[in-house]
Amino acid sequence: MKAKAFLIGGIVLLLLGFLGCRSSVGQNGLGVSLFQQGRYAEALQQFELAKLSDPSNPDVYYN
């Protein structure tokens, strides 16, 4: 059980690291995908990160 929890925690940290390197386009696309899955809070986070990443990208303001 501890090994499974450790593995899941490692995967989550790895994913968070990758999300930090994403472009605003990638973050926006991930937000759209999460929204379509009904994961609204996570989608909102991605939309906000996309805005912070590239405030000059007009696409991030239409979600």
Question: What was the pLDDT predicted at 12?
Answer: 61
Question: What was the pLDDT predicted at 18?
Answer: 57
> Are 46 and 34 within 8 A, CB to CB?
yes
pTM greater than the 0.85 cutoff: no
CA distance 27 to 33: 10
Query: Of residues 4 and 17, which shows the higher confidence score?
Result: 4
Per-residue HEC secondary structure of 9-63 comes to: HHHHHHHHHHHHCCCHHHHHHHHHHHHHCCCHHHHHHHHHHHHHHCCCCHHHHCC
* Span 6-58, pLDDT tens digits: 667 666 655 655 555 568 889 999 999 999 999 999 999 999 999 999 999 89
